[in-house]
Amino acid sequence: MLRTISNFHDIILECPFEDVYAPSDDSFLIVDYFKENINEKYFDGLDVKSVKNVLDMGTGTGIIALYLTKMKNQITNFSSNIFASDILKNAIRCAKLNERLNNFYQSITFIHSNLFRSFPDNLRNTFNVIIFNPPYLPSLRVNGNLVIKRGEDKSWDGGEKGFELFLEFCSQAVPFLNVTQSFYIYYVSSSATKFEDTLNSLAHLGFKNKILKKTHIFFEDIVLNRLEKI
């Protein structure tokens, strides 16, 4: 799969695993926003030199981490360490494959983990930017009963209401953010889920939410959001 971003060379992506989420409109919404808002001075308003550690949570094929690595190689002052994590072993295998296909040679640090549960302690309080394209749709029901999840469901099933997994992610993310500086968490949500119900929970965790960009796909709006500290 090939996606052209103006001003940057193409990224080569392969996805030979059925249970790994292939890039779609939500993935490209993130990539296009970063293309427009990362430059020699700023990472979307943050001093680009101050952004030391960036995490792509739920990396899938690795598309976000790969584009950030490409940008890092072309923007002089953007020298962040790029991390990528996923709950699926096949996603880590897929992302590493794509790292090799793009000749990045171990430029990304991969962590196999269920959210932050397997992250080493030395990464606590270190991340300036975290990106998460989470599963954001409600669990599938048949005749009123929840359907048991399969492996591929992890890419879209956000919980009974669609946002439970995201709130768990936010809670686990707090100890890993560098709260001594400004930080951002980028995430995607859908109008198909009543995500406004999460705003009070996010505020309780110390986050305020800003809508950055949206696109309409079939029956829903796909929305790119940014969390920062209140």
Convert the pLDDT of each residue in 184-211 to its tens digit.
Answer: 999 998 776 776 677 888 888 899 999 9
Give the pLDDT of residue 111: 98
Distance CA 13, CA 23 (A): 9
Give the pLDDT of residue 147: 44
Closest among 87, 85, 66 to 23, alpha carbons compared: 66
User: Residue 10 pLDDT > 90, yes or no?
Assistant: no
Per-residue confidence at 1, pLDDT binned at 50, 70, 90?
Answer: very low
Kindly report the CA angle at 114 between 178 and 90, in degrees rounded to 5? 120
Per-residue confidence at 212, pLDDT binned at 50, 70, 90?
Answer: very high
What's the predicted TM-score (pTM) here?
A: 0.86
Check: CB of residue 172 under 8 Å from CB of residue 117. Answer: yes
Radius of gyration of the chain from its Cα atoms, rounded to whole angstroms: 17
Handedness of CA 111, 173, 179, 79 (dihedral sign): positive
Give the pLDDT of residue 184: 98
The span from the first CA to the last CA of the chain, in angstroms, equals 39
Percent share of the chain, pLDDT over 70: 82
Q: What is the DSSP string of 163-184?
A: -HHHHHHHHHHGGGB-TTS--E
Token pair 């890092």 is found at 72
Q: Domains along the chain?
A: 2-229 (3.40.50.150)
Highest mean pLDDT among 62-71, 139-148, 161-170, 202-211: 62-71
* DSSP type of residue 157: B
Closest among 84, 72, 68, 92 to 17, alpha carbons compared: 92
Which ranges of the chain does DSSP label H, i.e. alpha helix?
25-37, 63-74, 89-101, 164-173, 199-204
Residues 6+ apart with CB under 8 A from 163: 136, 189, 193, 195, 197, 198
Enter the tokens of residue 50.
């101050």
pLDDT averaged over every residue in the chain:
85
Check: CB of residue 69 under 8 Å from CB of residue 96. Answer: no
Distance CA 224, CA 29 (A): 7
